[in-house]
Structure 1
Amino acid sequence: MPDDEIARLSQQRFARMRPFGAGRSRSVDTAGLPPGPRWPALVQSAALLRFRHRFVPYLRRRFGDTFTVRLIPEGRPLVIFTRPEAIKEIFAGDPDLFHAGKGNGILGPIMGEHSLLLVDGAEHKRARKLLMPAFSPRALQDYQDLVTGVAKAEVGSWQTGRPFRSLDRMNALTLEVILRVVFGVTDEGRLARLRPLVNATVDVSPTVLLGWGIPRLQRFGMWKRAVETSYSLDRLIYAEIAERRASPDLEHRTDVLSQLIRVDDGGDRLSDPELRDQLVTLLLAGHETTATALAWALYEVGRDPAQRARARAAAAAGDDEWLEAIAQESMRLHPVIPMVVRTLMGPATVAGIHLQRGATVGASILLSHARADNHPEPEQFRPERFVGRSPAPNTWIPFGGGVRRCIGAGFSLMEAVAVLREVFTTYDVEAVGDDEPRVRNITSVPRRGARITVRDLVGSPR
């Protein structure tokens, strides 16, 4: 595809996918909504994006299990729910009425109009059907050896006895998995060009996200750089798609991109712009989220000698159930995404609260995972919660739920187990200092990078 055509598609995406729309939005009736702060909508929006780990728990202490936040533009209401029975109603809501795409609209300029996270109704059903074969149990088995190979190369490069930020290394590792296993890129030159562009796309502040709704800002500073990065990433992705379509071994390749190109549902195939949007979605949804969960897992295990010994024993014995439980408990204790949202396309009732068209409802992952009635002693890191049993429905929701449950959930857990197995069969891991979450774009990451020190195990093959 010529560069000028790629630039046109990129510009068109930014224009179409402005988070707050091009015109005046329809007002929403807020009568009868649960209480919430009376601060200006801009202040509440900034607090929710930037300071959620203090703001959201404060709102629950102040207003109870259900409360309303008012967001830009025009103070549109977001009603946040924390109890599992209310969360069940949200996840089970009619997908034609409870739209997820509009709630994720702030990501539209980078993900694109075809993104699985942004489409609703029949479009979402179609996109999910076309993508599903690439994430089937059979496909996950095919990816496992590739993921293990990437993990072995990364973990084998670590220096023993020196503290380092595990978040940085996990980001590098999961990025390599995405580029090699999902994108199927093997050319070192292209990998070298992709890595910095992906990192620049992921590592943006909430201020950049808000600025995507104001086109004139895109001529200046951080917003201009974000747009330029997106254009450059688009050029590389479209080049990879074109080369893959023409590849003589396309039918034999097992990477996700190749499988998506081969999908043919009665003549229904994914176009180049659709492939681009789904690849970027998988990149953003599956790179930093898994990396952050793994960094917190290494940090939490490394804080407790008993946990360290148990993790090493599990890895040596091939006890993948315990390793997966470590990942699951990391996701519970340190949610990477704060909530799952749906925007109402008509009147609806949730937990006895009557809501009007245009209101947004949010299932709070932060608060659901921290409720003692959902998870006893919620502040404690206890992987055994997930061994031999599943958590009660709608109490552990890092991947969302219902028909919109993350399509890559199985891939994420498979990757996490492969990485933890490689780490704990090679090293003893010890946490360094304390850490706490901070907000980066829409995700939460360890403020100090989840610092650890590793030491070789006796008999390690290194």
Structure 2
Amino acid sequence: MATTLPPGPRLPRPVQTALMLRWGLRFVAACRRRYGPAFTLRVAGMGTLVYLTDPADIKTVFAGDPGIYHAGEANSILKGLLGDTSVLVVDGDEHRNLRRLMLPPFARDAVAQQTGVIAEIAAANIAGWPVGTTFPVAPKMSQITLEVILRTVIGASDPQRLAALRAVMPRLLSVGPWESLAIADPDLLRRRPWRRVREALAEADRLLYAEIADRRADPDLDRRTDALAMLVRAGGMSDHELRDQLMTLLVAGHDTTATGLSWALERLTRSPAVLAKAVLAARSGDDDYLDAVVRETLRIRPVVFDVGRVLTDPVELAGHRLPAGVMVVPGSVLVHADEHLYPDPERFDPDRLLGVAPSPSTYLPFGGGNRRCLGATFATVEFRVVLREILRRVDLETTTSSGEHQRLKTVIFVPHRGARITVSAMRTAEPGDVAESPGTSHRV
């Protein structure tokens, strides 16, 4: 049978690529208005993309045969950074087996054991925030979430190695377009212009392999709760595979959560009524409302642009028979802004998601199907715990300034000014405030 594609702009591929890089959100939104719920784009480095915004089509993709819908292939440009065995870039049996090994450290009970450490890390960072001075909070969020990953996922405890990891990881996680070329094409790493990227990767590898060796030799391995220890205990992974998964967790679990937290504070300081409710919730232990703030933040400001699947066979979808080789893209940024699904979508309103379990085909911050982010529970709990510590420990000034724009940084949307906030006062926790302590098991 003949294959067809949905309509889309007839602009040359280089022009579409430039529009996606410079005005991605506005470009796809304009295409949705002009061409309907499914449309075709052609982007250099990614190929032919079919954007989907109908929840029924998105459900079909997420429930589809993983042998036909290849998510790993869609993420292949990340191999230069994550490694060729990363759970994000493999497909088929290899992906299924890796995911099975990696799920236990991110199960609810395992995550609950880490909440005390997360709160402790957040509190220590918050204590150093300036008072009365407007500052970008995004770098502070990155410091917190990196420390959380290093201590709870990797389990790093050697002071010198921790310091070295704190220094090298931001260099890898803040790459610009020039450095991204070498990540997409690892052969470039051998060339002089990308020497600094190569050296940073080599240093990160040295440190991660040292952690792996320590964990394999640790006589107290059975008592450790960090994710690396759990993966070593489970067996089935070589040092190379463990390195790739650790790098994946560092990259995918650090910058994304930090950005979500930054957006939460950017939105809260522009929504006085919501901020007041969130502060009350944080100081009284109302996790339900804080969870709603987390969900609404990730709806109104999706951190990841979109997710994709490369078709290995032709499929019937969105009224077309799509050819093999096309990447189908459930358009989360468009779905989350759909006024039929979320009335007045630009209003920051956590109440709309209070006590609600959104449909997996209309709420997509963590992807879906067999490729749903395996760290989703960890990320949402970390988000809630850090947000609670902030709202317990500082008073935030509200602002009437316009909201910060969404700027695309590699594959995530960051606040273009770093989510600038002002702390009016530090607050000593009152006896009635709810704090997180080691061993506390709040609802996750």
TM-score by length of 2: 0.92
CA deviation after TM superposition for structure 1 residue 42, in Å: 3.3
Report if aligned partners of 1:183, 1:255 keep a CA contact under 8 Å in 2. yes
Which residue, 55, 64, 86 being the options, matches 2:36? 64
Quick one: distance in 1 between partners of 2:184 and 2:131?
46
Query: Is 1:48 matched with 2:48?
Result: no
Corresponding residue of 1:279: 246
Greater shift in the superposed pair: 223-232 or 144-153: 223-232
Query: Is 1:258 matched with 2:229?
Result: yes
Pick closer, same or farther for the CA change 1:30–1:385 going to 2, 3 Å.
farther
CA deviation after TM superposition for structure 1 residue 215, in Å: 5.7
Quick one: distance in 2 between partners of 1:327 and 1:184?
26
Corresponding residue of 1:13: none
CA displacement, residues 329-372 of structure 1 (integer Å, 9 cap, x when unaligned): 11111111111100011111112221111111000111011110
Corresponding residue of 1:411: 378
Pick closer, same or farther for the CA change 1:174–1:215 going to 2, 3 Å.
closer
The code of the aligned residue for 1:58 comes to A
Pick closer, same or farther for the CA change 1:239–1:324 going to 2, 3 Å.
same
CA displacement, residues 359-414 of structure 1 (integer Å, 9 cap, x when unaligned): 11000111011110111110010011111222234111000111111100000010
Corresponding residue of 1:309: 276
Quick one: distance in 2 between partners of 1:282 and 1:369?
25
The code of the aligned residue for 2:383 comes to A
Which residue, 424, 438, 446 being the options, matches 2:407? 438
Query: Is 1:117 matched with 2:84?
Result: no
Q: How many residues align?
A: 429
Corresponding residue of 2:73: 102
Corresponding residue of 1:319: 286
CA displacement, residues 292-343 of structure 1 (integer Å, 9 cap, x when unaligned): 1101101111112211211111011100111111111111111111111000
CA displacement, residues 78-131 of structure 1 (integer Å, 9 cap, x when unaligned): 100112111111101111111100101111111111111111111111001101
Greater shift in the superposed pair: 331-340 or 200-209: 200-209
The code of the aligned residue for 2:241 comes to E
The 5 Å alignment of 1:51-450 reads 51-72=23-44, 76-214=47-185, 217-218=188-189, 223-264=194-235, 269-431=236-398, 433-434=401-402, 435-450=404-419
Greater shift in the superposed pair: 43-52 or 299-308: 43-52
Report if aligned partners of 2:292, 2:355 keep a CA contact under 8 Å in 1. no
CA deviation after TM superposition for structure 1 residue 213, in Å: 4.4
Report if aligned partners of 1:385, 1:391 keep a CA contact under 8 Å in 2. no
CA deviation after TM superposition for structure 1 residue 207, in Å: 4.1
Pick closer, same or farther for the CA change 1:153–1:222 going to 2, 3 Å.
farther
CA displacement, residues 266-311 of structure 1 (integer Å, 9 cap, x when unaligned): xxx1110110000011111110110011011011111122112111
Report if aligned partners of 2:392, 2:427 keep a CA contact under 8 Å in 1. no
Report if aligned partners of 1:299, 1:430 keep a CA contact under 8 Å in 2. no
CA deviation after TM superposition for structure 1 residue 72, in Å: 2.8
Greater shift in the superposed pair: 440-449 or 245-254: 245-254
Report SS of the residue matched to 1:51: helix
CA displacement, residues 228-284 of structure 1 (integer Å, 9 cap, x when unaligned): 2112111111111112211222111111111111114xxxx1110110000011111
- Could you tell me which runs of 5 or more consecutive residues in structure 1 were left unpaired when the two chains were aligned: 1-28
CA displacement, residues 55-96 of structure 1 (integer Å, 9 cap, x when unaligned): 2222222322211111335x8311001121111111011111
CA displacement, residues 125-163 of structure 1 (integer Å, 9 cap, x when unaligned): 100110111111110111111111111111122122111
CA deviation after TM superposition for structure 1 residue 427, in Å: 1.6
Corresponding residue of 1:455: 424
Corresponding residue of 2:435: none
Report SS of the residue matched to 1:116: coil
The code of the aligned residue for 2:227 comes to V
Query: Is 1:32 matched with 2:1?
Result: no
Pick closer, same or farther for the CA change 1:250–1:72 going to 2, 3 Å.
same
CA deviation after TM superposition for structure 1 residue 461, in Å: 5.9
Pick closer, same or farther for the CA change 1:220–1:49 going to 2, 3 Å.
farther
Report if aligned partners of 1:151, 1:422 keep a CA contact under 8 Å in 2. yes
Quick one: distance in 2 between partners of 1:182 and 1:216?
30
Quick one: distance in 2 between partners of 1:125 and 1:93?
15
- Could you tell me which runs of 5 or more consecutive residues in structure 2 were left unpaired when the two chains were aligned: 432-444
Quick one: distance in 1 between partners of 2:28 and 2:247?
29
Quick one: distance in 1 between partners of 2:176 and 2:34?
28
Report if aligned partners of 1:106, 1:209 keep a CA contact under 8 Å in 2. no
Report SS of the residue matched to 1:160: coil
Pick closer, same or farther for the CA change 1:151–1:222 going to 2, 3 Å.
farther
